[in-house]
Structure 1
Amino acid sequence: MTRGALTLPEIGSQAEALEAAWRQLNAQGAWVRKYLSDATFEEVVFIGSGSSYYQAQTMATTFRLWLGRSAIALPSSDVFLFRDQSVARGRKTLLVGVSRSGESSEVLLALDSVKDLADWTTCGITCYEQSRLGTMTECLVSPLGQEQSTVMTKSFSSMTFMMQAAIAQAAGDALPAQMEDVLALDGDVVARAKTFSDDLVQANDFNKYIYLGMGAYFGLAQEVCLKLKEMSYVWTESFGTLEFRHGPKSVVEPGTLVCLLVSEGAREYELKVAEEMKEFGAFVLLVTAAAGADTEFADAVFEVGGAALSDEARAVLYLPALQYLGFYTAMKRGVDPDHPRNLTQVVKI
C-alpha cells in the first residue's frame, strides 16, 4: 500500500466527521441532560491516555468556562493507580472516559476502579459504540471518527468537537450556534490547510519543532506535537506559551520551527513571545483566527476564521493544518505515517 494512503484521506474527511458527530449529538440529548447538565456533580474528571488525554484537557477547560463548574483532566492511570492523590475524596464525581477505540486498557481500568464507589458516576465518549467502553458505560459516539491509521486525526477532531458541542448544549445561550458556525467553517479550513502545510514543508528544513498554546489550546499544542513525533519520528516539544520563556527558550536557534496556536483572549501576550522567538532566529508559524498588522513579523500565518467565536469553540479549526504538517513532514522524510514504528492503534496493558 502507498505510504500515507490511510492517514491522508482521514485528515481530509474530518469536516464530514464533525457533521456526523453533530447529528449524533442531537440524537443523544438525554446523555447531555443526564451527565453534563446535572449540577449536583461536584467534580467532573475527564480522562484519557495519549491523544485522548490531550483532548480531555481541552474538554475540561471548555467545561469550566462554559458551565462555570469544577472540572479537571487526568491521565487515565492517575485514577486507578493514584486516585486519592488526584481527586479529592468525598465529592460527588463524574468520571468521563475518552477513548477513540473504546478499548484502551488504562481508561477501562480507571472506570472499573470506581464502579463500586458510591460517590462516583461514569460515562464516556468513543468512536466505537460496541467497544468495551461503549458497553460498560453510557457514551457519546462519534460515528465517522473511526480510523484505520494508527495516529488519531479526524477521531481527535470529531470527539473534541462533539464533547464541546455537548457542553455548549448544556450551557445554552449562544454557544450551540457557535458550534454550528464551526461546522460551517471546517470544510474550507481543511481544504486550505492541505496546500498550506504541503508548501510549508517542501520549502523548509527544520531541525527542531516547538508547539505553544494556552487555555483550551494547551492540550491541542501537545496533541499536534505528538502528531509530528508519531508520524515522522522527529523530536519535538510543546509548552504553555508564556512558560516557554522561562528556560526552554534556550533551545531556539536558526532551524527551529516555533508554532504558536494564537488565542484571541491572550493574543497580545502570545504574539510578544512569538516575536521574541523570531529575534532568536526561529521560523515562526502562527495559527490564528485572523492575520493582522500584529502578525506581519511571522514567517507563515494560517488563518482559520471565526474571530468572533470564543477561543474554545474555534479549537478544532486549529488542527487540520498541523495534522497535515505532521503528515507531509513524514512523507518528505520517507516515513509511512500510516504505520509508525513501535505503535499500535490500541494500547493495552
Structure 2
Amino acid sequence: MIQTTYLTLDSEKAEELGAFHTAKEIAGQPELWQRVFRQLKNEQNAIHSFIKPILEKGNARIVLTGAGSSAFIGESAQGIVQQLTGVHTQAIATTDVVTHPELFFLEKVPTLLVSFARSGNSPESVEAVRLADAHCNEIYHLIITCNPDGELAAYANDCGGNCLALVLPEGSNDNSLAMTGSFTSMLLAILLVAGIDQLDQLKQQFEDAAETANHILRNSLHEFEAVAKSDFNRVIFLGSGAMLGVARECHLKLQELTDGKVVCKHDSFLGFRHGPRAVANEESIVVYLFSRDPHVVRYETDLAKSIGEDKRKIRTISFAAENTDGYHSILDLPAVGTSEKAIFNVLPATMVGQLLGFYKCLQLGLHPDNPSVSGAISRVVQGVTIYNKA
C-alpha cells in the first residue's frame, strides 16, 4: 500500500497524531488556489455583471466583514481591493457590526457588504447581513463562503438580485479547527473579484505566489520543524500594508494551534517602534513579512537592522527578504517573482504562521486538528446569543 505524505507526515502517522486534516489542508493550498482561480475565471462574466454597476455608482462603499480569521481576510485585502476598484473600502469585523451597527453603516450610501465565512453558520455573520439590510437603503451582498449548505449561502440564494454567492471549491471548507486553506482561498477570491477585469494581467503574479508556496512546502518543512523544537514562548509577526492583516492572522494561527502556550503579537514595522517593541526578548522570535515594494522595504529593513543590533541577539524569521545579514535569522523564506506589487504574496506569507503553528503544536504534544484541550475554542463559534436592539 502506497502511503500518502502530507507535510512531513505519512497519512497513518498524521492520523495517529491528530494532525491529518490540518497537514493535508496546509499542504493542499497551492492546488486549491489554482482551482479558485479557474472557478473565478469561469464565473468572470457573472461576477462582472454583478459588481460593476455597484462600483460605478460614484458614491459606493465596500465593507469587508467576517469574524475571527474571516475578519482578518478583510484586513489583509482592504487596501488592495480599494486600489483595484477605486472604491472606498473598509474592513469591519462582524463582531463589531453586531454590537454597534449604527457606528458602521451609512444609511444613504450604496454599500457592497462582502461577507467571508468558512461555514456560513456563525451567529455574528448571519446577524451582520440582517443588520446591513436594516441600516442601509441600498445594500448589496457578496458572500464568499466555503460551505454550500451554510446559512449565508442559503440567504444569498433567496434574497434576489442584490446578492451573489461565491461558494469556493470542495476542499476549501477545512475539517480542522484552525482555518488554513479556507482563509487563503477566500482571501484569493476577493482579490480576484476586485481585479475581475484584469485576471489575465494578474495571472503571472498569482502563479509566482503559488510557486513561492510550493517552494516552501518542498524545501523548508524540516527547517520549520527545527524552529518549533527550539525554546521560545512568544512570537511577534510584523507586516506593512496588506501584510499587516496577514501578520494578525499568523498571530492567531500560532496562538490557536498551541492552545495559548505560545503568546503572540502582531504589528506594522513602523508601529512596532512605538512601544510594542518592549515585548521582544531572548525568549521570543520576530517574524518579518517583507513587502516587495522598494519604498516600503526601506522602512522595514531599517527596523530589522535595528533589532539585529540588539545585544540580546533576538532570533528572527524572514519572508521575502532580499538580505538577512545581521538579522540573527533562523529561517529565510524566499519569494518567487520580481513584481513590486506582488499582491498575491499575502497567500504564501500566511503559511508562515500556519506551519510554525502546526509544528509547534506537535512539539507541545497537542493535536493540530483540535488543539484546544479545554474546548474553549471550536470550529464554529458556540455560545453567542443574538439580541434584538430595542
The unaligned stretches of length 5 or more in structure 2 are: 1-14, 157-163, 385-390
Alpha-carbon distance in structure 1 between the residues aligned to 2:153 and 2:200: 30
Please tell me the residue identity of whatever aligns with 1:347. V
Aligned pair partner of 1:346 in 356, 369, 380 = 380
Contact 1:45–1:71 under 8 Å retained in 2: yes
Instruction: Give the TM-score normalised by the residue count of structure 2.
Output: 0.83
The answer to whether the Cα contact below 8 Å between 1:190 and 1:320 also exists between their aligned partners in 2 is: no
User: Which residue of the partner structure matches residue 60 of structure 1?
Assistant: 78
- Picking from 306, 310, 315, the partner of 1:283 is 315
Kindly report structure 1 stretches of 4+ aligned residues shifted beyond 6 Å.
none
Deviation readout 1:292-319 (Å, 9 max, x if unpaired) = 3xx2222132112223252422210212
1:118–1:47 distance in 2 versus 1, CA, 3 Å: same
C-alpha deviation, 1:100, in angstroms: 0.8
Indicate whether 1:21 and 2:40 are aligned.
Answer: no
Look up the equivalent residue of 2:367 and give its one-letter code: D
Q: What residue number does 1:252 align with?
A: 280
Q: How far apart in 1 are the matches of 2:221 and 2:168? A: 23
Does the alignment pair 1:158 with 2:185? yes
Equivalent residues in 2 for 1:97-116 (5 A)? 97-116=115-134
1:114 partner SS: helix
Are the equivalent residues in 2 in contact too, given 1:211–1:259 (CA < 8 A)?
Answer: yes
Matched, 1:324 2:350: no
For residues 35 and 238 of structure 1, the distance between their equivalents in structure 2, rounded to whole angstroms, comes to: 36
The alignment status of 1:221 with 2:221, answered yes or no, reads: no
In terms of mean alpha carbon deviation, does 164-173 or 121-130 score higher?
A: 164-173
Structure 2 CA distance, aligned partners of 1:192 and 1:240?
A: 28
Residue 66 (structure 1) shift: 1.8
1:296 aligned residue: 325
Counterpart residue number, 1:238: 266
> Which among 219, 222, 231 is matched to residue 195 of structure 1?
222
Separation (CA, whole Å) in 1 of partners of 2:241 and 2:369? 30
For 1:137-156, what per-residue CA distance to the aligned partner results, in whole angstroms no more than 9, with x for missing partners? 22212212121100011111
The answer to whether 1:2 aligns with 2:16 is yes
User: Take 2:133 and 2:113, find their aligned partners in 1: how far apart are those partners?
Assistant: 10
For residues 13 and 313 of structure 1, the distance between their equivalents in structure 2, rounded to whole angstroms, comes to 17
Distance 1:99 1:224 in 2: 18
2: CA distance, partners of 1:255 / 1:261: 20
In 1, the alpha carbon distance for the partners of 2:252 and 2:179 equals: 10
Structure number, greater radius of gyration? 2
Deviates more, 1:80-89 or 1:170-179: 170-179
Segment of structure 1 superposing worse, 335-344 or 176-185: 176-185
**Secondary structure of 2:20 counterpart:** coil
The worse-fitting range, judged by mean Cα deviation, of 207-216 and 271-280 is 271-280
* 2:211 is the counterpart of 1:211: no
Contact 1:94 1:122 in 2 (8 A): yes
Q: Does 1:128 align with 2:147?
A: yes
Match in the other structure for 2:12: none
Q: Is the 8 A contact 1:193 1:324 kept in 2?
A: no
The CA distance in 2 between the partners of 1:83 and 1:275, in whole Å, is 43
Equivalent AA in structure 2 for residue 241 of structure 1? F
Aligned residues: 345
Which string of whole-angstrom CA distances, capped at 9 and with x for unpartnered residues, describes residues 239-263 of structure 1?
1221111001112221210101000
CA distance 1:145–1:115, change in 2 (3 Å): same
The residue matched to 2:322 in structure 1 has which SS? coil
Q: SS in structure 2 opposite 1:338?
A: coil
The one-letter code of the counterpart of 1:2 is E
Cα distance, 1:192–1:102 mapped onto 2, change above 3 Å: farther
Q: Kindly, what percent of the aligned residue pairs are identical?
A: 26
Give the C-alpha shift of residue 89 in structure 1.
3.5
1:33 to 45, 48, 51: 48
Residue 101 of structure 2, aligned match among 83, 105, 118? 83
Please tell me whether the aligned partners of residues 194 and 321 of structure 1 are also in contact (alpha carbons under 8 angstroms).
no
Which shows bigger deviation, 184-193 or 136-145? 184-193
8 Å contact kept, 2:101–2:131: no
Read off the aligned partner of 1:251 and give its amino acid letter: V
* SS in structure 2 of the partner of residue 314 of structure 1: helix
Range with greater deviation from structure 2 (153-162 or 164-173): 164-173
Cα shift readout 1:62-111 (whole Å, capped 9, x = no counterpart): 11122222100011132233222123341111101101111111111000
Question: Does structure 1 retain, via aligned residues, the 8 Å contact 2:210–2:348?
Answer: no
For CA contacts below 8 A with separation 6 or more, give which structure has more relative contact order. 1
How far off its partner does 1:320 sit?
2.1
Unpaired segments of 5 or more residues in structure 1? none
SS of the aligned residue for 1:253 comes to: coil
Which residue in the other structure is 1:271 paired with? 301
Q: 31-40 or 100-109, which moves further after superposition?
A: 31-40
Q: Tell me the TM-score normalised to structure 1 length.
A: 0.92
SS of equivalent to 1:174: helix
What code does the residue aligned with 1:147 have?
D
